[in-house]
Amino acid sequence: MDFQLSEEHQLFQRTVREFADKEIAPKALYYDKNHEFPWENIKKMAALGLLGVPYSEEWGGAGGDSLMYAIAVEEISRACGSTGIILAAHTSLGSAPFYLFGTEEQKRKYLIPLARGEKLGAFGLSEAEAGSDAAGTRTTAVLDGNEWVINGTKNWITSGSLADTVIITAMTDKSKGALGISNFIVEKGTPGFSYGKNEEKMGLRASVTSQLFFDNCRIPKENILGQPNDGFKQFMQILDAGRISIGAMALGIAQAAYEAAIRYATQRHQFGRPISDFQAIQFKLADMATQLEAARLLIYRSAWLKDKKLPFGKEAAMAKLFASEVGERACHQAIQIHGGYGYVEEYHVERYYRDIRLCEIGEGTSEIQRIVIARHLLRELKHQ
């Protein structure tokens, strides 16, 4: 057993952290306040290969692994949560489906520019009646000659109105329920594909979250991912892996909150002493550091399992569940340590608190993670 990152991973971590501190963090408040999509960050990350970390060089990626990708999301999110979710959604949701299930031709056409960061990707699963119930999709796709005709509405799609390609789920055989869903590639600008308003969110305000409308939207027959009706199992695998990155995002945001809190605690004086002298504050810092370290181990372990091609679905769900819940608590406590200053934007911790809240909801709520974990546990018991 070796709990140390390899030299290569340590170097990668240092490089991304320095980049994020210098290039991403200074404008995080500005982007959040102005609800402005951080295109500049995307361009800079693309130049470093950060938009395709886990994909091989053959497909435009940086040739890294899942652990490096988790580190990248953690470090970028430590600087700016909005940029962190854009990175995670682009990589795990917008690009991974091509990597895992795309044909050579689809990979060449779509994955290469996505992994190089020349194009932005998105994934559309959620609808009015589909979210936690991933099989509840009402969007339909019907084959008409050489084209699929898509009708329906998707909700809560990260980067939805900006993405060059969106992979969406649609029902192709209603009689089969979950096993009658397929995944389709829709390009920006396709007639019949339009967007609703961008949501005004509590946090992650520099990221764009939109509704997508498909009104007799016709796409070529070959724009299906894999075989018809394979969609549900495909996106269950996509979500399994995506959860590692949402855990990493929560960890990065919470780490920033913890670092702000410990710094502030040594600077702020009350009763003639820095407040870090008081046990009430020390206990909070100790809990934050302990819980974040445990979250980091869960996240890195699930990424390591994935890289070793071992089962990782249960561990990824545990990592996301734990990191998002203890991370939210750490952000809460960071505000408490800052007192009134924690409640105003210049001290950043109120932004961390707003941003991290999404991590308990997106890519499966905490309740869904518990269902996924419990199903694994009970299945394991049955096979003992």
38 part of the interface to ligand COS, by CB under 6 A:
no
- With CB under 6 A as the contact rule, the residue among 134, 167, 204, 349 that binds ligand COS is 134
Pairing mode, strands 224-225 and 209-220: unpaired
For the question of residue 199 being annotated catalytic, the response is no
Q: Which stretch binds ligand COS (CB under 6 A): 26-34, 130-138, 180-188, 351-359?
A: 130-138
Size of the site for ligand COS (CB under 6 A): 22
207: its two tokens: 């990221």
Rounded to 10°, the helix 81-88/231-267 angle is 160
User: What is the C-alpha to C-alpha distance for residues 16 and 99, in angstroms, rounded to an integer?
Assistant: 24
Q: How many CB atoms lie within 10 A of CB 201?
A: 18
Instruction: Please report whether residue 111 would count as binding ligand COS according to CB under 6 A.
Output: no
Q: Which stretch binds ligand COS (CB under 6 A): 37-45, 124-132, 184-192, 223-231?
A: 124-132
Closest CB 276 distance from ligand COS, rounded Å: 39
Is residue 79 within the footprint of ligand COS (CB under 6 A)?
no
User: Where in 290-349 is the site for ligand COS (CB under 6 A)?
Assistant: 313
240: Cβ contacts below 8 Å, ≥ 6 apart: 312, 313, 316, 317
Is 131 or 274 the residue whose CB approaches ligand COS more closely? 131
> Which listed residue (25, 178, 289, 373) binds ligand COS by CB under 6 A?
178
Considering only residues 227-266, where is the footprint of ligand COS by CB under 6 A?
232-233, 236-237, 239-240
Q: Name which position in 131, 192, 226, 274 contacts ligand COS (CB under 6 A).
A: 131
In angstroms, the CA 348 to CA 352 distance is: 7
Only segment of 279-287, 336-344, 349-357, 359-367 that touches ligand COS (CB under 6 A): 359-367
Q: What angle do CA 353, 358, 363 make, to 5 degrees?
A: 155
- Report the distance separating Cα 87 and Cα 81, nearest Å: 10
Other residues' Cβ atoms within 10 Å of the Cβ of residue 135: 16
Q: Exactly one of 18, 222, 363, 367 is catalytic; which is it?
A: 363
Site for ligand COS contains 128 (CB under 6 A): no
Q: Which is nearer to ligand COS, 24 or 134 (CB)?
A: 134
At closest approach, how far in Å is the CB of 75 from ligand COS? 23
- What contacts 24+ positions apart, CB below 8 Å, involve 97-101? 97/123, 97/167, 97/183, 97/225, 97/234, 97/235, 97/238, 98/167, 98/225, 99/55, 99/59, 100/234, 100/237, 100/238, 101/183, 101/225, 101/226, 101/230, 101/234
Single residue of 68, 71, 125, 326 touching ligand COS by CB under 6 A = 125
Write the single-letter amino acid at 212: L
Cβ atoms of 257 and 251 closer than 8 Å: no
Catalytic residues: 363
Residues that bind ligand COS (CB under 6 A): 123, 125-126, 131-135, 178, 232-233, 236-237, 239-240, 313, 362-364, 368, 371-372
